[in-house]
Chain A
Amino acid sequence: MFEKTGIPNAEMVMEKFPSIERINQGAVAVVECYKEIPCNPCQTACKFDAIKVGEDINSIPEVCFENCTGCAVCLSKCPGLAIMIVDGSKCSDKAEVKIPYEFLPLPAEGQIVKGLNREGRHITDVKVLKVLNPKSFDRTPIVTIEVDRKFLYEIRNIKAEV
């Protein structure tokens, strides 16, 4: 179905997530690259040897969750915008999620925006905690949102109303 719709199923998504224990320890990358394509900038971007594509650049990136510091440098480097950062260390009922967001207007810090799932469906409202858009991100801003933990595995996008 994924190849017909572009929507990965729950099982595929879960395979890309680290354990909840790891998420509760602090920020970590979730790399949603499901199909082999010739691409490896995530590996090049990572300073902590946490993402490995290997010799064959068509291989699917493997994330070493132990090495990953959740620094988010890979987020704005992934041409497929397939990476997000999840962090469950801040609060017991909420998680912080960082996503790349290349649309205008950028949401404001503190703003409540629509949280969307992988189909683009509005599943919950989320609070924008931070918006980073430095030159080094090369026009791929990173938005940090606070989301109810029960949507941790579903949330994947936001929509900031004009």
Chain B
Amino acid sequence: MKSAELAVIGGGPAGLCAAVSAAKSGAKVLIIDKNKKLGGQLIKQTHMFFGSEKQYASVRGIDIPDILVNELYKYKENVEIITEAAVVGMYEDGIITVLEKEENYFKLAPEAVVVATGAYEKALSFPNNDLPGIYGAGAVQTLMNVHGVKPGNKVLMVGAGNIGLIVSYQLMQAGVEVKAILDAASKIGGYLVHASKIRRMGVPILTSHTVKEAIGKDFLEKAVICEVDERFNPIDGTERVFDVDVMCISVGLAPLNELLAMRGCEMKYIPKLSGIVPVRNENYETTVENLFAAGDAAGVEEASAAMVEGYLAGLCAAAKIGYMPKDFSDRKNDYVNQLKNLRSGPAGKHISEGIKQIIGR
């Protein structure tokens, strides 16, 4: 059995920051990530981030993994990284099982764990939603921004949250025509600066609209959309047809945290945090001692908040197993204040309300 002091599951924004924070405190950290390259979703975010300097505002998401990995390198004697490895189980006796490169299966008994496994994309039901050409926004970003492949030529974007707006902009940068962005909600969900940026490129944003059906023989050829009323029921006679070969579904994310449930953490359904999330204390420790959660796995939010949550959870997890740095309170207060600041405005209101429902003990 492999030993480790602190295992960080997931090397995205929250996981990398948790690792930096814990390694800085002196803990021996093992990062386990299922991908080849660390960074999680950051590796496809070609746009500049919001927030303040401490959360790398104005820096493009794609450049943040290098910044964090360089930061990790400062504490390299404390850090071990395993990539292309999936954590497949977390058991009541504290054992974690890992499958590395689809062949090497091993067990791990860490003293503490930070679960930073991120989120998954929600789907949308409509007839023929399995036609080739209908993608999740994450897949479109992977094709385009990681592999340099155009997903198609004419796109209908479904969802006007930040991801839908940002991916629309990136599609246009790649030379793909975006016919329209639609959203069932009556208002644009994402930041309005993003919406204005796309609107002045001439792309209509159709609120109170949904997809009625997809049409195509071997692949997507047409999308039929319609208006919806306040209760999201389709309004007859409002159908419109778009000739598109891509439909990009961006209707939200949900926390990806089955490992926590498997381990026996108390979980709660909190719509304001986008799904089932672990009950936790203010240090991001779950109801299972020494098991922490950070980032989207603890409730879906922006990457800037995920990074600060990671720093906080990593600091507290390391402290819990004996690595209590002299400046613990200063660091903790700094992270707590950063999170408070990020969430204090109208854009973070639902998050603050959601968190109130989840803080236990």
Q: How far is the CA of A44 from the CA of B172 in the complex (A)?
A: 29
Cβ B199 vs Cβ A118 within 8 A: yes
Among A1-58, those with CB < 8 Å from B are 2-8, 32-41, 44-45, 56-58
Cβ B186 vs Cβ A4 within 8 A: yes
Highest count of chain B CB atoms <10 Å: which of A38, A40, A156:
A38
Q: Closest chain B residue to A102 by CB distance?
A: B173
> Residues of A contacting B70 with CB < 8 Å?
none
Cβ A37 vs Cβ B200 within 8 A: no
Cβ A41 vs Cβ B57 within 8 A: yes
Cβ A117 vs Cβ B200 within 8 A: yes
A57: min CB distance to chain B, Å: 5
- The 3 A-B residue pairs whose C-beta atoms are closest, nearest first, are A58-B345, A80-B193, A120-B202
Classify the interface of chain B: helix, strand, loop or mixed: mixed
> Residues of A contacting B94 with CB < 8 Å?
none
Q: Is B163 an interface residue (CB 8 A)?
A: no
Among B188-203, those with CB < 8 Å from A are 188, 191-203
Among A87-130, those with CB < 8 Å from B are 102-104, 116-121
Cβ B191 vs Cβ A80 within 8 A: yes
Q: Is B81 an interface residue (CB 8 A)?
A: no
Give the interface size class of chain A: 35 or more
Cβ B57 vs Cβ A40 within 8 A: yes
> Residues of A contacting B58 with CB < 8 Å?
41, 44-45, 77-79, 138
Q: Is A152 an interface residue (CB 8 A)?
A: no
Q: Is B128 an interface residue (CB 8 A)?
A: no
Cβ B173 vs Cβ A116 within 8 A: no
> Residues of A contacting B203 with CB < 8 Å?
120
Cβ A39 vs Cβ B200 within 8 A: no
> Residues of B contacting A120 with CB < 8 Å?
199-203
Q: Is A160 an interface residue (CB 8 A)?
A: no
Q: How far is the CA of A33 from the CA of B345 in the complex (A)?
A: 14
Cβ A6 vs Cβ B51 within 8 A: no
Cβ A118 vs Cβ B47 within 8 A: no
Cβ B347 vs Cβ A58 within 8 A: yes
Cβ A82 vs Cβ B193 within 8 A: yes
Q: Is A157 an interface residue (CB 8 A)?
A: yes
Q: How far is the CA of A33 from the CA of B191 in the complex (A)?
A: 10
> Residues of A contacting B48 with CB < 8 Å?
77-79, 138, 140
Q: Is B346 an interface residue (CB 8 A)?
A: yes
Q: Is B35 an interface residue (CB 8 A)?
A: no
B55: min CB distance to chain A, Å: 9
If A38-B342, A44-B57, A119-B202 are given as contacts, then 10 extra A-B residue pairs at C-beta distance below 8 Å, sorted by A number, are: A2-B192, A34-B192, A37-B50, A44-B58, A56-B341, A78-B58, A79-B47, A79-B58, A103-B173, A139-B60
Q: How far is the CA of A45 from the CA of B52 in the complex (A)?
A: 11
> Residues of A contacting B199 with CB < 8 Å?
5-7, 118-120
Q: Is A68 an interface residue (CB 8 A)?
A: no
Highest count of chain B CB atoms <10 Å: which of A39, A102, A139:
A39
Q: How far is the CA of A44 from the CA of B201 in the complex (A)?
A: 28
Q: How far is the CA of A77 from the CA of B57 in the complex (A)?
A: 9
> Residues of A contacting B53 with CB < 8 Å?
41, 44
Cβ A138 vs Cβ B207 within 8 A: no
Highest count of chain B CB atoms <10 Å: which of A34, A57, A59:
A57
> Residues of B contacting A104 with CB < 8 Å?
173, 175
